[in-house]
Structures are given as structure tokens and as C-alpha cells.
Chains A and B, each alone.
Chain A
Amino acid sequence: MKKYSLNMLLIVFAIGLLFAAHFRIIDSYIQIVVMTIGINIMMSTSLNLVNGNMGEFTCGHAAFMCIGAYISSILSVFCFGTKFGAPLLPAASVVIVFPIILLIGGAVAALSSLLVSVPSFKTRDDYLAIISIAVNYMIISAIENMDFVGGSRGFQGMKDTVWAMIDIFDGPWMLFWVINFTVFTVWVIRRFISSTYGKGVNAICQDEVAAEIMSVNTNKIKIINFMVAAGLAGCAGGLYAHIIGYVNPQSFNILKSTEAMVMVYLGGMGSLSGAIISAVIFTGLLEVLRSQAIVDGLLSPITFMFPDWEPSAGVIKWVMIPLLLVIVMQFRPEGIMGNRELGDVFPKLKKFYRFK
């Protein structure tokens, strides 16, 4: 009972969500928000593996998302699209092939993480941050210069894959895949990080010298940890590309990486549940502050004093969210959860589920 309670809850929730989407109880806007939340959970939990659990400071996570997005988009256009000629695979196989395409995108992203993980053998902290930013720029610039994927104009055509799925069964397919991959991400990370093998990552964070002396193969663990993080970010990128139906290298620039970092630091370093919670809050906040009415309401005391000032929601939200981050860092520098998990904060929850 204890072992399966959360799983049951998740399954019920996911099925409920899918039904609601299928029967148009929630409209496509809400669906997009939910899918963005899922992708952001994948991004923040996977970055948390590197920045939180391993204590390295990388800020180029979107690069891996970009690689995953492009690789899986290209593959899906090859397999089911018409852009590069006739589809390679019959449209009926799409439901099986699509997750494989996403995983291949993730695998390539994982391989590309060597660009950051190999330098991380010898550098740490600020220097690794610079390297990771450089990798982010490198990958974006490389793709901008590849004409066969559209260069800086971006790449599209992967909606064909989604249409192929809808031809088989008219349902919220992308929502289905996002839920699956989000659960998969959290599942992989949780199991990895709670094993003795994965605790080597924490050991590296807390004292790398001691870890190496105490028989942890630090270089190997670093490579693997970066690979897991980048691979899962790559899957997130693939999903993102298929939801939007269009990818542009500039949508994976340093701003996107920063968004992932903000979610990690907001949630608390090294806390998986913190990363999930902050991804939900952050995405929710972005959407809520998009509404002009809410922004007007929030700022009414100020606009009352300065009637000439008419703040626009699209701009002002990028003042309010960083401000929130400043406030959180000021009064709770360890983030919402610190390095604790939900079960540590609310011990009563442990009755229903074991969190570690």
C-alpha cells in the first residue's frame, strides 16, 4: 500500500487529466500550460542533478534541450514527414516509434554532454559555468549555420508526426507523452540518486577529494551524471519541439538555460521535490502574470499613485519574477525546500509513501 500509494495517485491524476483533455473539459490553452509544466519539471529536475546534487555550476542546460529537440525533430520528419521526401516509415508505426525518436534525441544530447563533463574533471564553479555557457552558444551557433535544418529560420514539419498519431486515434497525444516522459524523468532521477551508486554524486558535491580517495570513480560518475541530466533535457527538448511544431535555435539560448536555473535555485539545491514544486510554481506564475487584469490588480496601489503609468503584463512579468527570486534568495537562500525532500518537511507524508 505504502509502496504504491503515490503511483496510484499519479495514475489516477494522469488518466483524469487525459480524459479531461480528450472530452474538452480543459481547453487547449490549459493543456499547453500543463505540458509546459511537464517540460519544465523535466528541465529543472535534470539540471538539479548537476547543479544541486553534484554541486557543479553549469548554466547551459538549454543546449542539451536544443540538441534533443533538433535530433528528434529531424528524425521524426525523416520517418513521418514529407519535408525530406516520402516518409520512411508507415504512419501506423508512429505510436511505437515516437518515444524511440525522443529517446534517440536524448541519447545524442547525452553524448554531447561530454563537451561539459570532460572539462569538469579539472575545473569547477565559475570556470565550468563559463564553459557551459560557451557550449550553449557553440551548439546554437552550429545549428544556426546548418542550412539543411533551416539555420536561424528554424525548423518545422514535425507536426506531421503528431497528425499521424491523431489519425490513429483522435486524442491528446502530446499530453500523454509529456506525462509519460515527466514521470519517466522523475523516476530515473529518483532511483539513480537514491542508490549507493548515485550517492557518489552527492559525495563529489560535498568533498571531491574525499570521494576520490574513498573509492568513488569521480570522473566516471561525473560523466554519467552529466549524461543522465543532458539526456533527460534532450527528451524534454524533443517533446517541446513536437508540441510547438517549430524549433528555432534562439529559443534555446541562455535565457532558456537561466529559466531552468531559476527553477532549480527556487526549489532548493539537490531537492527533487523542490525542483518539481518550483517548476510548477514558476510556470504557473509565468502564465498568471501574462494576464493584464491580474498584473493591473497586483500593481493597483502603485498605479493609483502614478495614474499615468500603464504597465504591460508581457514586460512587467520579467520584473516581477526576478524580483521574486531576489526576495527568495534574500530570505530563504536555500530555496523553497532547501536540500530536503517533501517527506522531511512533512513527516506525516512518510506514512503514505517512502520518499527515499
Chain B
Amino acid sequence: MAQTLVQTDSTPVLEVRSLTQRFGGLTAVNDFNVKLLPGEMTGLIGPNGAGKTTVFNLVSGFYQPTEGQILVDGKLTAGFKPHKVTALGVARTFQNIRLWNDMTVLDNIRVAQHHWLGYGLFHSVVRSKRYLQREAEIAKEANELLEVFDLQKFADELPKNLPYGTQRKLEIARALSTHPKLLLLDEPAAGLNSSDVKDLIRLVRWIHENFDVSIWMIEHHMDVVMDLCNQIKVIDFGQTIAEGTPDEIRNHPAVITAYLGDDNI
């Protein structure tokens, strides 16, 4: 809660203005607006096919929006490739874990720092002073990150050999190693059992407290969203149908209709 009070002078980490995405005749996202302030933890929920992941794909630069603007930290991201958006400070995880499975855990973390390597082909071939210095810094940072995530013991393992819950954790750690201002979590609890979900809630809260990062998550496990987020947005068929605190959302008639359907069938 402390973070939410200290945000008077700050620009929003993410501002989305009347975002619309059409795929042919299908309007996946329609006039979507959101403003995320630093340190906020926000949820995005909605039934299957509501366009939640499309919003994330738009924000991370994976799709170019049909209409509307996306501002990351006050900067317009129109026409940016995803790696540039990441460099601006948006990191994300995926619904289905997408780690680099044949690279060690440590390398997974290291490669995610590509945007600020500060050296190129020439330096890597001649192993210049700058190369050695940057590699040492990156290795140090990656090791520290593994340390705080308690993944140090897996540093030389391949991610595919890790348990599912640990892979989730590693994916979040990898996203954080890009030094994001905003972390997008796309269904972090998907495929986890109930005890893993509890660990995940603890982990996300811990990240929120210890890293200087806003979190925006899509999640189907209501307990996760209700527990973690202070603001929730609900979309259905690309339209925003409700937003507010968890308590407001829980009893919002439009949300209940969207999830459970009308009672007069």
C-alpha cells in the first residue's frame, strides 16, 4: 500500500488511449483505455476470448494497434518492435511458458539483458576490455537475480528439466532481468496446483514489494487477482465492462453476467 501513496509527481508507466485492434472483421479490442501508475498492481480479467492477451500483445509491441495510442513511461510506442518496447521498460511472461529450453538457467537470465549489452560483434570477437567488463557485470547481475529468486542451485540446469512451478518462477525472473518498469504477467497461475498458486501469490507480492515495478496481470484464478490487485479491469468481447476495486468487481452485475450469463434465458 505504501507505494500507492507515493505517486503524486510520477508519469504513468503505461497509458493506453482508445486502443482498438481489428483482425479482419473481428474487433478483438475496442476502445480500451488504461492508466497504470508506478507501483500499482492491476488485474485484467474477462471470460475466454475476451481480448485480454491481445491487449498484452499490443502493449508489448507484438501487434501494431489498428487505432489508439500506447505510451510507455510517457513515450509513444507506435511502430516499435517488441525489443524496443522492452528496452523502454515493459517485460512480460507468457501464458504457456516460453523459456529457452536448451540454454542453461543462467544463460536465460543473461540473454534477457540484450538491450543494454553495450557491445557488438567486434567487441565479442576481440574480447575487448568493454566486453569483459560488461560480461562480468551481466553475469554478476544474473547471479544476484538467481540468488534472490532462490534459483541459484539450478543455474547450470536446463529449464526443461525443472518442475513446472520453478519454470514459472524462472520466467518471471527472466522478465525482471530486463529491468522493467512494468511487468505484464499473462496467466501466471495457469497450470499450477493450489499450493503452487499460494507460492505464486507470495512471489508476486514479494516482487511488488522488493522491485521497483508495476505489475499488470491477466488471471483466471479469481483468488489470485482478488488477493493481489488493488484495481481490476474486466473486459468482454473487447469492451471494458467494469473496473474498480476487487470488492466492487465481485458484485458488479455486468461482470456476473459476463461470466455466468443472463438469468433470463
Within 8 A of B (CB), among A280-334: none
Mask: chain A, 194-234; 1 = CB below 8 Å from B; 0 = not: 01111110110111011111111111000010001000000
Q: Is A197 in contact with B174, judged by CB distance below 8 angstroms?
A: no
Measured between beta carbons, the chain B residues less than 8 angstroms from A196 are 107, 110-111, 113-114, 117, 135, 138
Check: B70 CB closer than 8 A to any chain A CB: no
Q: How far is the CA of A195 from the CA of B138 in the complex (A)?
A: 11
In the complex, are the beta carbons of A214 and B124 less than 8 A apart? no
Q: Confirm or deny: B82 has a beta carbon within 8 angstroms of a beta carbon on chain A.
A: yes
Q: Mark B15-29, 1 if CB is under 8 A from A, else 0.
A: 000000000000000
Contacts of B88-107 to chain A: CB distance below 8 A = 91-92, 94, 98-103, 107
Task: Give Cα distance in the complex from A187 to B126, angstroms.
Answer: 10
Known: A195-B135, A206-B102. Contact between A214 and B125, CB under 8 A?
no
Whether B82 contacts A198 by the Cβ 8 Å rule is no
Residue of B91, B98, B127 contacting most chain A CB atoms (<10 Å): B98
- Docked Cα-Cα span, A228 to B113, in Å, equals 22
Q: A198-B124, A202-B102, A339-B102 are in contact. Are A215 and B115 (CB under 8 A)?
A: yes
Report the bound CA distance from A213 to B174 in whole Å. 11
CA distance A224 to B101 in the complex (A): 23
Quick check: B174 and A214 within 8 Å, CB to CB?
yes
Q: How many residues of B contact A (CB 8 A)?
A: 37
B99 touches A210 (CB 8 A): yes
* Min CB–CB distance A344 → chain B (angstroms): 11
Q: Which residues of A contact B114 (CB under 8 A)?
A: 196-197, 200, 214-217
> Which residues of chain A are within 8 angstroms of B103 by Cβ–Cβ distance?
199, 202-203, 206
- Checking A191, A192, A215 against B83 with a beta-carbon cut-off of 8 angstroms, the contacting residue is A215
Answer whether residue B60 sits at the interface, using C-beta atoms and an 8 A cutoff: yes
In the complex, chain A residues whose CB is within 8 Å of the CB of B101: 206-207
Query: What's the least CB distance linking A28 to chain B, in Å?
Result: 34
Q: By DSSP majority rule, is chain A's interface helix, strand, loop, or mixed?
A: helix
Chain B 59-102 interface 0/1 with A at a Cβ cutoff of 8 Å (1 = within): 01010000000000000000001110011000110100011111
Q: Are A191 and B111 in contact (CB under 8 A)?
A: no
B234 at the binding interface (Cβ < 8 Å) = no
Q: Which of A187, A213, A339 contacts B92 (CB 8 A)?
A: A213
Residue of B nearest to A228 (CB): B121
Check if A188 is an interface residue, CB within 8 A of chain B. Answer: yes
Chain A residues 40-64 with CB under 8 Å of chain B are: none
A198-B124, A215-B87 are known contacts. Are A210 and B110 too (CB-CB below 8 A)? no
The answer to whether B261 has its CB under 8 Å from any CB of chain A is no
**Would you call B30 an interface residue if the criterion is a C-beta within 8 Å of the partner chain's C-beta atoms?**
no
Flag if A199 contacts B83 (CB, 8 Å).
no
Task: Evaluate contact between B120 and A215: CB separation under 8 angstroms.
Answer: no
Contacts of A218 in B (CB 8 A): 83
Chain B residues with CB under 8 A of A216: 83, 111, 114
Q: Mark A241-285, 1 if CB is under 8 A from B, else 0.
A: 000000000000000000000000000000000000000000000
Q: Indicate if the CB atoms of B60 and A213 lie closer than 8 Å.
A: yes
Known: A213-B82, A214-B178, A218-B83. A224 touches B100 (CB 8 A): no
Complexed CA–CA distance, A207 and B99 (Å): 7
Distance, CA A211 to CA B175, complexed state (A): 11
Instruction: Name the A residues within 8 Å of B125 (CB-CB).
Output: 187-188, 191-192
Cα–Cα, bound, A213→B183 (Å): 12
A212 touches B131 (CB 8 A): no
Q: Name the A residues within 8 Å of B92 (CB-CB).
A: 213
CA distance A228 to B122 in the complex (A): 11
| Cα A219 to Cα B114 with chains together (Å) | 13
Expressed in whole angstroms, the minimum distance between the Cβ of B7 and any Cβ of chain A is 26
State which of B81, B100, B178 has its C-beta within 8 Å of the C-beta of A212. B81
Of A187, A197, A211, A219, the residue contacting B117 (CB under 8 A) is A197
Give complex CA distance A217, B87 in Å: 10
Q: Min CB distance, B195 to chain A, in Å?
A: 27
Option from B102, B119, B178 in Cβ contact (under 8 Å) with A197: B119
Decide if A213 touches B87 in the complex (CB within 8 Å): no
Q: Does B112 contact A (CB under 8 A)?
A: yes
Apart from A195-B135, A199-B103, A214-B174, what 12 extra A-B contacts exist at CB < 8 Å?
A195-B124, A196-B114, A196-B117, A199-B110, A202-B100, A212-B62, A212-B81, A213-B86, A215-B113, A216-B111, A217-B83, A224-B120
Name 19 A/B residue pairs within 8 A (Cβ), A-sorted. A192-B124, A200-B111, A202-B103, A202-B107, A202-B111, A205-B102, A206-B100, A206-B102, A206-B103, A207-B98, A210-B99, A213-B62, A214-B91, A214-B112, A214-B178, A216-B83, A216-B111, A228-B121, A339-B102
Q: Which B positions have Cβ atoms within 8 angstroms of A?
A: 60, 62, 81-83, 86-87, 91-92, 94, 98-103, 107, 110-115, 117, 119-121, 124-127, 131, 135, 138, 174-175, 178
Q: Which 4 A-B pairs have the closest CB atoms?
A: A195-B124, A215-B115, A210-B98, A215-B86
